[in-house]
Amino acid sequence: MPELSRERRECDLEAPAQVQLLVVEDDPSVRRMICRAFEGSRYAGRPIITQEAPSVEAALRVVPGGGFDLIILDLGFPQGLQGRDLLRRMREAGVQVPILVATGNSASADSEELYRLGAADILTKPMFIYALKDAVNGILRAAEAARRPAWTSAPARVLHVEDTDDWAALVRLWLSQTDYASHRVACRAELMRFLRSCRELPDCILLDLTLPDVDGLNLCDELKRQPDAQAIPLVVFTARGDDRLAALKRRAVQVVIKPDGSGKSAREEVMTVIDSVIDQAERTRGVVRKGGLRLDPRGHRVFWGSKGLADLDPAKFSILKLLLERSPRPVSEEELRGCLPRVGYKRHHPEDPNPKTVAVYVSNLRSRLAWEPLVQIVNMPGQGYALLTMPAGSA
């Protein structure tokens, strides 16, 4: 049986010249109908190209290296592997191509199970062409937004769920004055598509309760049932003051009531709550800050203000973290040596547990941080090394 390769793990950051859809469907008339629906269609100025696969086995042969942007998948096949098998295999292999499930058997389509397996959205046949195109465009938009460097490389991320454009623009302005990346979705469907497309989940969800396709209180319950979303802090920002207690009972960490008028009075409260939520989450996962430097164990990332400086391997990250925690005091070579890996090497002398000495690691760190002059690792003879930083924005 063909196995999925691990080559295509993530969507390319560079937009390809065309959008490629794979239609996995055993009924040839349905396959042709779907393909014809996209003939001559474009997404973001790029032509949409379709390819057909009459079975899951055929799909498994073309998905690795196929460069597909989206898969439209039937669940039931007369023999062999079924649609759920493709979902499971792609999830296990870490292949991140969005999948739109289109099934004619609504009774067997357990939506929660399908979403857990990685479905981006679900349509029930018979389906209208406009509904199919709307779902495809929505999934592509969510996947594109979720992989933008502005979102994936930011120190922290806020997802705003708001259907009113004026409030969305105002909150976007507030967030633009911080180090946080932000993205706005207007309804439950867009929210779920975005979360299922994310390589980097948001650190906070700012949620309006009045949405066009669901009541926000029910959406709170739904998010808390989902394994990937249940740990994301929810901050409710709503005009429905009477629902404050109900939102808190649904594990919202805070509720801010929208004021009448321009919203200036709400800015300080909203931003204070978001700052507090993100600060608490960072302390929980062991983020270290000093001056303008920020070290995040999530991905071993180093930031200067909002600017990403480097992604380090665990040993270099541990050395830099120890230096930052002690800064500006020096750290001895003996202590730094304890950060180095202790397996898979041959000792050069008893005091050095790794063929790469501390000096080599420090030299490498200096080269990774060299383009930020406000961060310096200095050698202090007889004492070790010290990390010196200045506040972000200093010159």
Instruction: Write the DSSP string, 170-227.
Output: HHHHHHHTSS-EEEEE-SHHHHHHHHHH-SS--SEEEE-SB-SSSBHHHHHHHHHHST
Does residue 5 fall inside a structural domain?
Answer: no
Q: Please work out, in degrees rounded to the nearest 5, the angle formed at the alpha carbon of residue 37 by the alpha carbons of 61 and 194.
A: 70
Looking at residue 80, its pLDDT comes to 94
Q: Which helix (H) or strand (E) holds 269?
A: helix 264-285
For residues 157 and 279, state if they share a domain: yes
Looking at residue 216, its pLDDT comes to 94
Q: Please work out, in degrees rounded to the nearest 5, the angle formed at the alpha carbon of residue 255 by the alpha carbons of 253 and 257.
A: 170
Does residue 12 fall inside a structural domain?
Answer: no
For residues 270 and 316, state if they share a domain: no
Counting Cβ atoms within 10 Å, is residue 40 exposed (0-12), middle (13-18) or buried (19+)? exposed
Pick from 113, 143, 173: which residue ends a domain?
Answer: 143
Instruction: Write the DSSP string, 336-369.
Output: HHTTS--SS---SBTTBSSSS-HHHHHHHHHHHH
- CA pair distance 324, 312, nearest whole angstrom: 15
Does residue 13 fall inside a structural domain?
Answer: no
For residues 205 and 263, state if they share a domain: yes
Residues of the chain whose pLDDT is less than 50? 1, 5-15, 107, 343-345, 353, 355, 395
Domains of the chain: total = 3
Does residue 84 fall inside a structural domain?
Answer: yes
Domain of residue 94, CATH code: 3.40.50.2300
Looking at residue 121, its pLDDT comes to 87
Contact 280, 154 (CB under 8 A): no
For residues 315 and 371, state if they share a domain: yes
For residues 242 and 365, state if they share a domain: no
For residues 87 and 199, state if they share a domain: no
Tokens 């911080």 -> residue: 178
240 is written with which tokens?
């429905």
pTM here is 0.68
Pick from 143, 177, 199: which residue ends a domain?
Answer: 143
Q: Which residues pair with 99 in a beta bridge?
A: 71, 119
Does residue 36 fall inside a structural domain?
Answer: yes
For residues 350 and 371, state if they share a domain: yes
Looking at residue 104, its pLDDT comes to 77
Does residue 4 fall inside a structural domain?
Answer: no
Looking at residue 1, its pLDDT comes to 46
For residues 280 and 153, state if they share a domain: yes
Instruction: Report the sign of the C-alpha dihedral through residues 77, 83, 88, 89, in that order.
Output: positive
**Listing from the earlier edge strand, what are the strands of the sheet with 19-24?**
42-43, 46-53, 19-24, 70-73, 99-103, 119-124
pLDDT (tens digit per residue) in 306-353:
788 888 988 899 999 999 999 999 999 888 988 877 644 455 555 554
By residue range, what is the domain housing residue 333? 289-389
Domain of residue 316, CATH code: 1.10.10.10
How far CA 42 is from CA of 47, 49, 67, 118, 132, in Å, comes to 4, 9, 17, 25, 14
Pick from 237, 259, 284: which residue ends a domain?
Answer: 284
For residues 124 and 212, state if they share a domain: no
